[in-house]
């Protein structure tokens, strides 16, 4: 039976997710795979060899179309060797990345850049990150992996609206005014755009409306209103909002992340059953909590309160919260296994990516953890933590590498016309802050 994702449903599911999170605090983490120092060094060597090969291609991307397409093929040809050794992936898992996720990300970036040439590479990576989540959900829901107009529209709402609401140089009053107008637009009200930023957001909503007529697909718009409401509540995490206790901070993160991926799932085909709805919500909560962990240092600096930054501000090691998050990741993985669709290779790839997201965050924030926990978790990482920190710094300083790769992979393919029906709008939209986690996805091959 189809769910109705009204505010009451979101509140009930948020409470259930919080209860599942609390259960994870009381169970010992069963542990992940174990890597010896020798195995880690072997993977690190393969990683660096793969990175150097990609860098060589990025530096010599030709100007003509045929040469750029050949450069794409050479980059893709490097990946199976890199993935097999550095990431421990073989066969079907490598095919999922090279023939599924990577082409889907390329297609989304191509469409997005055609719609708005001013979109930055970090914004494209951020949009791709959401699209990759949607692509994983497509397979789990028994649908082919591909970029649709609705996924494109929803994925670009992140650079256009999410970053706007997170921007430090925009006042809370301005954000709330935009949020109120955005809510009216999501409800179907026709509003003339007041700014280039609004014009971009309205155009993305139009893409979704064209794919899913409102009268037939009520779930879709309830999901979109759910993430919108959660975004409004998340403004309470910004500087100056010190009244939230830990339970409320958890509630905000679960609702924001949960409704976000719930919308991804609903946009796959326009409806979900109960089990699919719960998986989408819990998956989103897991990703949001992982992002909160990854951003703890930045949140401390800008005064944004999350469960992790609040504990760090109190001087508490984040050991317990990280073990709880790893347990929660295993719980979401177990729920994913109950879905009848999706190959074992896909489910293993997603499980690995969720675990690695957490381990990478731990590696990058070692000052927040005890030495004993760092030593324990490092054994479960395919790379040593020092290596992860060094490569993260190296890649963050190489915008030219990512720009070159994006430019190489955005070359239009054969028959690439206007199947997705992009709106024809002219404007210079708001471009927000970069999402560095997307760059780490590209760097380390997570999904």
**What residues contact residue 201 under an 8 Å CB cut-off, 6+ apart?**
157, 160, 161, 182, 185, 193
Cα(237)–Cα(252) distance, integer angstroms: 8
Instruction: Kindly report the length of the chain.
Output: 447
Which pLDDT does position 72 carry in this prediction?
74
Tokens of 172: 């809370």
Spell out the domains of the chain, with CATH numbers in brackets: 7-26+36-411+432-444 (1.10.600.10)
DSSP 8-class letter at 106: H
Question: Is 57 in a helix, a strand, or coil?
Answer: helix
Which pLDDT does position 404 carry in this prediction?
52
Cα(221)–Cα(154) distance, integer angstroms: 12
Cα(100)–Cα(430) distance, integer angstroms: 30
Cα(198)–Cα(217) distance, integer angstroms: 24
**What residues contact residue 40 under an 8 Å CB cut-off, 6+ apart?**
381, 382, 383, 384, 387
Do 134 and 155 meet the contact criterion of CB atoms below 8 Å apart? yes
Please give the span between the terminal C-alpha atoms of the chain, in angstroms, as a whole number.
30
Which pLDDT does position 435 carry in this prediction?
34
Do 286 and 304 meet the contact criterion of CB atoms below 8 Å apart? no
Cα(110)–Cα(69) distance, integer angstroms: 14
Cα(200)–Cα(238) distance, integer angstroms: 25
C-beta atoms surrounding 96 within 10 Å: 23
Cα(291)–Cα(248) distance, integer angstroms: 17
Cα(174)–Cα(195) distance, integer angstroms: 12
C-beta atoms surrounding 391 within 10 Å: 19
Which pLDDT does position 313 carry in this prediction?
94
Tokens of 246: 């830990």
Cα(186)–Cα(338) distance, integer angstroms: 33
C-beta atoms surrounding 308 within 10 Å: 28
Cα(337)–Cα(345) distance, integer angstroms: 12
C-beta atoms surrounding 412 within 10 Å: 12
Cα(344)–Cα(273) distance, integer angstroms: 21
DSSP 8-class letter at 366: G
Q: List b or e across 255-281, with b for residues whose CB sees 16 or more CB atoms inside 10 angstroms.
A: bbbbbbbbbbbbbbbbbbeeebbbbbb
Cα(120)–Cα(191) distance, integer angstroms: 27
Q: Where are the beta strands (DSSP E) in 2-79?
A: none
Cα(75)–Cα(362) distance, integer angstroms: 30
* CA-wise closest residue to 318 among 282, 279, 361, 261: 361
Cα(183)–Cα(225) distance, integer angstroms: 7
One digit per residue, the tens of pLDDT, for the chain of length 447 reads 456 788 899 999 999 999 999 999 988 887 778 999 999 999 999 888 887 887 777 677 666 777 777 777 777 777 777 777 888 887 888 888 888 888 888 888 888 888 888 887 778 888 888 999 999 999 999 999 999 999 999 999 877 887 777 777 888 788 888 889 999 999 999 999 988 889 999 999 999 999 999 999 999 999 999 999 888 887 765 554 567 889 999 999 999 999 999 999 999 999 999 999 999 999 999 999 999 999 999 999 988 899 999 999 999 999 999 999 999 999 999 999 999 999 999 999 999 999 999 999 999 999 999 999 999 999 999 999 999 988 876 665 444 445 555 656 665 444 444 555 555 544 333 333 333 333 232 233 333
Helices in 187-316 by DSSP H: which ranges? Answer: 196-211, 218-234, 246-269, 274-294, 296-302, 307-313
Which pLDDT does position 124 carry in this prediction?
83
* CA-wise closest residue to 369 among 442, 289, 312, 325: 312
Residue/partner pairs of 22-25 with CB below 8 Å, 24 or more apart: 23/331, 24/324, 24/325, 24/327, 24/328, 24/331, 25/320, 25/324, 25/327
Do 124 and 96 meet the contact criterion of CB atoms below 8 Å apart? no
């Amino acid at each position: 039976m189809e769910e109705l994702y009204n505010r009451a449903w979101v509140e009930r599911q948020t409470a259930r997710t919080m209860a599942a999170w609390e259960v994870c605090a009381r169970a010992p983490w069963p542990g992940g795979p174990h890597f010896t120092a020798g195995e880690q060094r072997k993977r690190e060597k393969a990683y660096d060899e793969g990175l150097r090969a990609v860098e060589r291609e990025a530096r010599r991307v030709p100007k003509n179309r045929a040469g750029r397409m050949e450069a794409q093929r050479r980059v893709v040809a490097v990946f199976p060797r890199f993935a097999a050794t550095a990431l421990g992936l073989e066969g079907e898992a490598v095919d999922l990345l090279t023939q599924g996720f990577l082409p889907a990300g390329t297609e989304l970036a191509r469409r997005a850049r055609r719609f708005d040439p001013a979109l930055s590479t970090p914004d494209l990576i951020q949009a791709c990150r959401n699209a990759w989540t949607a692509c994983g959900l497509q397979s789990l829901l028994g649908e082919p992996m591909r970029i649709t107009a609705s996924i494109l529209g929803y994925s670009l709402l992140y650079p256009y609206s999410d970053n706007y609401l997170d921007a430090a140089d925009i006042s809370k009053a301005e954000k709330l005014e935009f949020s109120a107008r955005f809510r009216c637009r999501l409800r179907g009200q026709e509003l003339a755009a007041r700014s280039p930023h609004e014009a971009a957001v309205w155009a993305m909503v139009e893409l979704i409306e064209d794919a899913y007529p409102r009268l037939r697909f009520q779930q879709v718009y309830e999901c979109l209103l759910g993430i919108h409401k959660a975004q409004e509540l998340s403004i309470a995490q910004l500087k100056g909002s010190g009244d939230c206790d830990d339970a409320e901070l958890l509630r905000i993160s679960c609702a924001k992340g949960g409704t976000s991926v719930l919308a991804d799932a609903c946009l796959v085909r326009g409806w979900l059953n109960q089990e699919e709805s719960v998986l989408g919500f819990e998956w989103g909560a897991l990703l949001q909590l992982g992002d909160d962990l990854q951003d703890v240092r930045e949140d401390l600096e800008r005064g944004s309160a999350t469960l992790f930054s609040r504990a760090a501000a109190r001087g508490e090691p984040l050991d317990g919260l990280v073990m709880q998050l790893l347990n929660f990741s295993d719980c979401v993985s177990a729920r994913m296994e109950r879905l009848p669709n999706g190959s074992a290779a896909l489910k293993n790839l997603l499980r690995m990516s969720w675990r690695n997201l957490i381990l990478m965050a731990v590696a990058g924030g070692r000052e927040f953890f005890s030495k004993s926990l760092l030593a324990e978790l490092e054994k479960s990482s395919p790379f040593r933590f020092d290596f992860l920190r060094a490569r993260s710094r190296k890649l963050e300083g190489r915008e030219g590498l990512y720009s070159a790769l994006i430019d190489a992979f955005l070359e239009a393919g054969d028959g690439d016309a206007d199947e997705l029906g992009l709106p024809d709008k002219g404007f210079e939209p708001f471009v927000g802050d970069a999402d560095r986690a997307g760059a780490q996805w590209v760097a380390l091959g997570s999904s």
